[in-house]
């Protein structure tokens, strides 16, 4: 057990430190108990860290995670870029689904029980614009909603109110979030200010760490520029703590070269080990927008293969480094891309903007394996067909906040836009027992049990959708093949377990496949329904 | 008798040189610039106009080496940026709104170390005369973050009085540029407008990719987003370009380069 968790578990809640149960502000210790505060001092190993890896451009999830069990439909939909079945890498404990052949690093993390694959993550009404989709992922808004704050920004604002006034302070000496990359990011935007600190790029960061400034011209302007930059560095509130943390870690594990993601993750590992209490790190890696020549003639090679290899190698090296540095238990990571790509490839050996896609979580605190099932692939996929969504990305965020950052579920709900917080699922992504007072959720219903079906099937006009709920919040939605939410048929709380039925009125809708999505607690299922001529 | 001394003319010329060119006067400048200018000044019977005319028409004045080395005074920064940002105030008849807002900006000047109507002593602002730092005095660990805070505020919220808001409208500003749909031209134009010294191609590429393209690899994603806003200025389309432009300007105003004039 971690020292801090031990303290949290052993201190009576309401009487002494009421704030401790809801939030984990160290400030609560200070205000209420100097003794506990003294005990906590310097114990950085009990702070959890999340590393968010953004794969910019829209990653082709279907060539990253290959639905081997449905190989013939997969191959037919994208014969010009399909990965040969015998080259697909197996995943420990998972049948019928495999990884791109270049992802050996990630494959070994699955074998070590440190990686999780979540299938078909998306959101209703997918947006196919890179910019808008990125904003949606960063803000965790609904598709039709403009939210100006980021999801981690709202979380950090809850934990550290009034930032940046009186920060840094003895309780929170370090940056709350660090973005390696662009200067301001929506992800960490809080209600008032941006909660994050940006390190413009690894080179500048190394300059910061080693105390070197970029060269300036040998002119009066250059002299003044270097003067202002020096003052800038001196007054950058967190420069010295970052430099100090980096200097604490003279040696690290080996990282692949020519891999900018690896460069960034190496910095993250260094800062985590160096003692920063920063909770969220963001890194990004681009180039996934492969509308053409995604693969070479050998479809296991080419642009996408190289990108996936870099991602996989970088994550593996990062995880190994964290283990070598002894901070493995503090860190989890997640990948995401603003959207996946179409099921069907285009004739330029590329893929076009799509909807739901798989994502990975990794770390020793991750419940390993696969969540969800292979996406349904139509027998004759057409250009507009998308992967139907299985999990809402905001349920992933909410689960991380609840089970990794140990927030009360009611607080988690308050951090998401109204309208979706009732639909957030608490998913089996994080190992149990990493937070105090959180009971493991009931296991999901085995995939073999039929929990949603329809009759008649196929149908001409209407069809009745039956579903088995375990009680509690229950959701039945219907999506079309483009990935759009057509209608929410059921959203209500059932007092107890039961089987219920609802009619899907499809008169006037085009004849094609529709997907019924059922969600109840940690369980979700997607059921294809075929509408034929009326 | 006093005016017959060479040193008198030199003394005044140095002050003028420091104001218009650079505060640091090395031996070469003393010999090649200050001396000849002092001669002109003295020979024209201490008329200021021939002196300024000679200085402003000199090659030395336009030498690239001498450009962009002037640290903005708080007034240069606050009032200058209001002009650069095309911020409009109310008509002069609405004195209540205008005076309230001007007072806000005057408070910024005071906080940044330049109370225009109340210099610290009869010598004026130390940054104009105090050897050896001169206008480097404007920049310190307190004032520099405040300078950034000022430009951030003008971008993110601005200031309102009587229901009237003054704020940097990043999107409207971008519309005044030559080719805002092209991210390269946009950045080029913005830098030319706001900076006296150019950035490296590498920095420009980084700004473009990380901010305007949100790490996407193709320029046309910005071009399309901009075109979408121009043809259909819906809230969603506006937000897409506005978010990115705000980040762009925030970044550009926060770089040390913006403190130079």
Could you read off the pLDDT of B100-111 as tens digits, one per residue? 999 999 999 998
CB spacing of A219 vs B240 below 8 angstroms: no
**Scanning every residue of chain B, which has its alpha carbon at the shortest distance from the alpha carbon of A285?**
B215
Beta strands in B25-179, from DSSP E residues, in sequence order: 159-161, 164-166
Mean pLDDT on A256-261: 90
Residue of A130, A223, A231 with shortest CB distance to B214:
A130
**Chain A contacts of B221, Cβ < 8 Å?**
130-131
> Is A165 an 8 Å CB contact of chain B?
no
For residue A198, the model assigns a pLDDT of 59
Q: Looking at the structure, do residues B90 and B163 belong to the same domain, yes or no?
A: yes
Omega before B132 within 30 of 0, i.e. cis = yes
**Chain B contacts of A232, Cβ < 8 Å?**
144, 256
Pairwise CA distance, residues A354 & A129, whole Å:
10
Q: Looking at the structure, do residues B118 and B79 belong to the same domain, yes or no?
A: yes
Residue of B71, B141, B250 with shortest CB distance to A184:
B250
The Cα of B39 is separated from the nearest Cα of chain A by a number of Å equal to: 26
Residue of A146, A181, A286 with shortest CB distance to B239:
A146
**Scanning every residue of chain A, which has its alpha carbon at the shortest distance from the alpha carbon of B146?**
A235
> Is B38 an 8 Å CB contact of chain A?
no
Q: Tell me: the pLDDT tens digits for A136-176?
A: 888 888 888 877 778 888 888 887 776 766 677 777 777 77
For residue B216, the model assigns a pLDDT of 86
Q: Tell me: the pLDDT tens digits for A502-522?
A: 999 998 888 888 999 999 888
The length of chain B in residues reads 261
First to last CA, chain A: 62
Between residues A30 and A367, the one the model is more confident about? A367
Please list the alpha-helical segments (H only) found in A326-375: none
Last residue of one domain, picked from the residues B66, B82, B101 = B66
Residue of B69, B145, B216 with shortest CB distance to A220:
B69
**Chain A contacts of B259, Cβ < 8 Å?**
228
Contact B247, A198 (CB under 8 A): no
Chain B segment 53-92 residues within 8 A of A by beta carbon are 64-71
Pairwise CA distance, residues B20 & A219, whole Å:
16
**Chain B contacts of A289, Cβ < 8 Å?**
216-218
Mean pLDDT on B176-190: 96
**Scanning every residue of chain A, which has its alpha carbon at the shortest distance from the alpha carbon of B216?**
A57
Chain A segment 42-101 residues within 8 A of B by beta carbon are 54, 56-57
Q: Looking at the structure, do residues B95 and B48 belong to the same domain, yes or no?
A: no
Between residues A232 and B209, the one the model is more confident about? B209
Report residue A214's pLDDT band, with 50, 70 and 90 as the boundaries: low
Contact A493, A518 (CB under 8 A): no
ipTM reported for the complex surpasses 0.95: no
DSSP single-letter state for residue A12: -
**Scanning every residue of chain B, which has its alpha carbon at the shortest distance from the alpha carbon of A180?**
B210
The least confident of A237-241, B4-8, B59-63 is A237-241
Q: Looking at the structure, do residues B114 and B62 belong to the same domain, yes or no?
A: no
CB spacing of B144 vs A186 below 8 angstroms: no
DSSP single-letter state for residue A520: E
Q: Looking at the structure, do residues B114 and B181 belong to the same domain, yes or no?
A: no
Q: Looking at the structure, do residues B176 and B164 belong to the same domain, yes or no?
A: no
Pairwise CA distance, residues A523 & A105, whole Å:
30
> Is B48 an 8 Å CB contact of chain A?
no
Residue of A200, A224, A229 with shortest CB distance to B71:
A224
**Chain A contacts of B251, Cβ < 8 Å?**
183-184
| Element housing A282 (H / E) | strand A280-285
Between residues A33 and A21, the one the model is more confident about? A33
**Scanning every residue of chain A, which has its alpha carbon at the shortest distance from the alpha carbon of B152?**
A193
> Cβ–Cβ contacts within 10 Å for residue A215, how many?
8
CB spacing of A228 vs B69 below 8 angstroms: no
| Element housing B110 (H / E) | helix B95-111
Q: Looking at the structure, do residues B80 and B153 belong to the same domain, yes or no?
A: yes
Domains defined for chain A, CATH in brackets: 1-46 (no CATH), 47-423 (3.40.720), 452-530 (2.60.40.3080)
**Scanning every residue of chain B, which has its alpha carbon at the shortest distance from the alpha carbon of A286?**
B215
CB spacing of B236 vs A146 below 8 angstroms: yes
The Cα of B188 is separated from the nearest Cα of chain A by a number of Å equal to: 19
CB spacing of A57 vs B66 below 8 angstroms: no
- Residue given tokens 């507009």 in the structure block: A384
Last residue of one domain, picked from the residues B66, B99, B114 = B66
Residue of A54, A186, A284 with shortest CB distance to B243:
A186
> Is B133 an 8 Å CB contact of chain A?
no
User: Residues 6 or more apart from A75 whose CB is under 8 A from it?
Assistant: A82, A85
Q: Looking at the structure, do residues B7 and B26 belong to the same domain, yes or no?
A: yes
**Chain B contacts of A56, Cβ < 8 Å?**
214-217
CB spacing of A231 vs B24 below 8 angstroms: no
- Residue given tokens 């934990």 in the structure block: A159
Contact B180, B173 (CB under 8 A): no
**Chain B contacts of A135, Cβ < 8 Å?**
239-240, 243
Report residue A445's pLDDT band, with 50, 70 and 90 as the boundaries: low
> Is B242 an 8 Å CB contact of chain A?
no
For residue A345, the model assigns a pLDDT of 95
> Is A182 an 8 Å CB contact of chain B?
yes
**Chain B contacts of A286, Cβ < 8 Å?**
209, 215-217
Between residues A170 and B238, the one the model is more confident about? B238
Pairwise CA distance, residues B41 & B197, whole Å:
32
CB spacing of B235 vs A146 below 8 angstroms: yes
Query: How many CA within 13 A on the CB side of residue A301?
Result: 3
- A455-461 contacts: CB < 8 A, separation 24 or more? A457/A529, A457/A530, A458/A529, A458/A530, A458/A531, A458/A532, A459/A506, A459/A529, A459/A530, A459/A531, A459/A532, A460/A531, A460/A532, A460/A533, A460/A534, A461/A505, A461/A506, A461/A507, A461/A534
Last residue of one domain, picked from the residues B138, B168, B198 = B168
For residue B230, the model assigns a pLDDT of 96
Between residues A163 and A410, the one the model is more confident about? A410
> Is A224 an 8 Å CB contact of chain B?
yes
Mean pLDDT on B246-260: 89
pLDDT over 90 percentage in chain A: 46
Asked if the model's pLDDT at residue A204 lies above 70, the reply is: no
Contact A293, A306 (CB under 8 A): no
> Is A283 an 8 Å CB contact of chain B?
no
Q: Tell me: the pLDDT tens digits for A461-494?
A: 999 999 999 888 899 999 988 888 899 999 999 9
Q: Looking at the structure, do residues B234 and B253 belong to the same domain, yes or no?
A: yes
pLDDT over 70 percentage in chain A: 81
Q: Looking at the structure, do residues B80 and B163 belong to the same domain, yes or no?
A: yes
**Among the listed residues A221, A233, A214, A264, the one whose alpha carbon sits nearest the alpha carbon of residue B200:** A214
> Is B157 an 8 Å CB contact of chain A?
no
For residue A14, the model assigns a pLDDT of 23
CB spacing of A235 vs B24 below 8 angstroms: no
| Element housing B210 (H / E) | none
Asked if the model's pLDDT at residue A26 lies above 50, the reply is: no
Question: Please, what is the average pLDDT of chain B?
Answer: 90
Our count of domains for chain B comes to: 3
CB spacing of A131 vs B240 below 8 angstroms: yes
**Chain B contacts of A131, Cβ < 8 Å?**
214, 216, 221, 225, 240, 244
Residue of B69, B70, B136 with shortest CB distance to A219:
B69
Q: Looking at the structure, do residues B78 and B164 belong to the same domain, yes or no?
A: yes
Mean pLDDT on A345-360: 95
> Is B227 an 8 Å CB contact of chain A?
no
CB spacing of B217 vs A227 below 8 angstroms: no
Q: Looking at the structure, do residues B42 and B91 belong to the same domain, yes or no?
A: no
The Cα of B12 is separated from the nearest Cα of chain A by a number of Å equal to: 22
Range of the domain at B221: 172-259
Q: Where on the phi/psi map is residue B158: left (φ > 0), alpha (ψ -120 to 50), or beta?
A: left
Tell me the pTM. 0.74
Q: Tell me: the pLDDT tens digits for A289-330?
A: 999 999 999 999 999 999 999 999 999 999 999 999 999 999
């Amino acid at each position: 057990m971690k020292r801090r968790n031990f303290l949290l578990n052993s201190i009576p809640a309401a009487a002494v430190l009421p704030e401790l149960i809801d939030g984990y502000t160290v400030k609560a210790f200070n205000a209420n108990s100097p003794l506990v505060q003294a005990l906590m001092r310097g114990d950085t190993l009990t702070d959890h860290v999340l590393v968010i890896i953004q794969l910019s451009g829209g990653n082709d999830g279907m060539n990253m995670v290959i639905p081997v069990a449905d190989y013939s439909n997969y191959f037919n939909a994208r014969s010009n870029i399909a990965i040969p079945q015998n080259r697909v890498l197996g995943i420990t404990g998972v049948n019928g689904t495999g990884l791109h052949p270049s992802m050996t690093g990630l494959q070994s993390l699955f074998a070590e029980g440190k990686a999780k694959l979540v299938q078909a993550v998306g959101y209703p009404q997918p947006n196919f614009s890179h910019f808008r989709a990125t904003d949606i992922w960063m803000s965790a808004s609904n598709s039709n909603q403009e939210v100006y704050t980021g999801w981690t920004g709202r979380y950090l604002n809850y934990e550290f109110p009034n930032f940046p006034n009186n920060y840094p302070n003895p309780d929170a000496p370090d940056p709350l979030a660090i973005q390696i990359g662009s200067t301001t990011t929506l992800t960490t935007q809080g209600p008032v200010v941006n909660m994050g600190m940006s390190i413009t790029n690894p080179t500048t960061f190394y300059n910061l760490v080693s105390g070197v400034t970029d060269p300036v011209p040998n002119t009066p302007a250059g002299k003044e520029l270097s003067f202002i930059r020096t003052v800038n560095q001196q007054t950058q509130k967190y420069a010295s703590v970052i430099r100090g943390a980096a200097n604490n870690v003279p040696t690290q594990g080996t990282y692949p070269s020519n891999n900018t993601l690896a460069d960034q993750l190496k910095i993250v590992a260094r800062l985590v080990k160096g003692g920063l209490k920063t909770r969220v790190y963001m890194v990004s890696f681009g180039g996934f927008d492969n509308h053409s020549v995604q693969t070479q003639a050998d479809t296991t090679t080419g642009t996408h293969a190289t990108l996936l290899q870099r991602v996989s190698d970088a994550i593996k090296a990062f995880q190994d480094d964290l283990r070598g540095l002894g901070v493995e238990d503090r860190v989890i990571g997640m990948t995401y891309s603003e959207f996946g790509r179409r099921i069907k490839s285009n004739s330029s050996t590329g893929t076009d903007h799509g909807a739901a896609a798989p994502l990975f979580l990794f770390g020793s605190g991750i419940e390993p394996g696969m969540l969800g099932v292979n996406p349904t692939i139509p027998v004759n996929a057409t250009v507009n067909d998308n992967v139907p969504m299985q999990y809402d990305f905001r349920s992933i965020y909410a689960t991380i906040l609840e089970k990794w950052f140990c927030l009360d579920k009611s607080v988690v709900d308050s951090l998401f836009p109204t309208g979706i917080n009732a639909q957030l699922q608490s998913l089996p992504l994080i190992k149990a027992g990493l937070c105090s007072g959180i009971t493991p959720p009931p296991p999901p219903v085995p995939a073999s049990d039929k929990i949603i079906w329809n009759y008649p099937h196929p149908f001409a006009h209407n069809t009745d959708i039956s579903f088995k709920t375990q009680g509690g919040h229950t959701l039945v939605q219907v999506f079309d093949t483009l990935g759009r939410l057509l209608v929410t048929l059921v959203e209500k709380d059932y007092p107890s377990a039961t089987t219920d039925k609802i009619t899907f009125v499809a008169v006037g809708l085009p004849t094609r496949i529709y997907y019924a999505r059922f969600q109840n607690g940690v369980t979700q299922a997607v059921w294809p329904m075929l509408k034929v001529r009326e | 008798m006093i005016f017959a001394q060479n040193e008198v003319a030199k003394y005044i010329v140095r002050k003028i040189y420091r104001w218009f060119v650079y505060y640091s006067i090395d031996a070469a400048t003393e010999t090649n610039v200050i001396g000849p200018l002092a001669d002109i000044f003295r020979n024209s019977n201490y008329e200021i106009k021939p002196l300024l005319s000679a200085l402003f028409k000199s090659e030395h004045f336009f030498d690239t080496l001498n450009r962009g080395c002037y640290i903005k005074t708080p007034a240069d920064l606050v009032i200058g940026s209001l002009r650069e940002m095309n911020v409009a105030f109310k008509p002069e008849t609405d004195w209540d709104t205008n005076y309230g807002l001007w007072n806000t900006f005057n408070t910024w000047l005071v906080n940044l170390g330049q109370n225009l109507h109340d210099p610290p002593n009869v010598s004026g602002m130390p940054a104009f005369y105090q050897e050896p730092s001169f206008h480097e005095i404007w920049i310190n660990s307190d004032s520099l973050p405040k300078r950034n805070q000022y430009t951030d505020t003008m971008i993110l919220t601005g200031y309102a009085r009587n229901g009237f808001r003054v704020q940097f409208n990043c999107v409207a500003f971008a519309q005044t540029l030559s080719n805002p749909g092209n991210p390269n031209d946009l950045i080029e134009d913005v830098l030319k407008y706001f900076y006296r010294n150019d950035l490296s191609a590498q920095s420009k590429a980084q700004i473009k990719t990380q901010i305007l393209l949100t790490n996407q690899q193709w320029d046309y994603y910005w071009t399309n987003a901009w075109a979408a806003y121009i043809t259909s200025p819906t809230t969603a389309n506006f937000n897409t370009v506005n978010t990115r432009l705000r980040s762009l300007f925030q970044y550009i105003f926060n770089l040390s380069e913006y403190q130079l004039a």
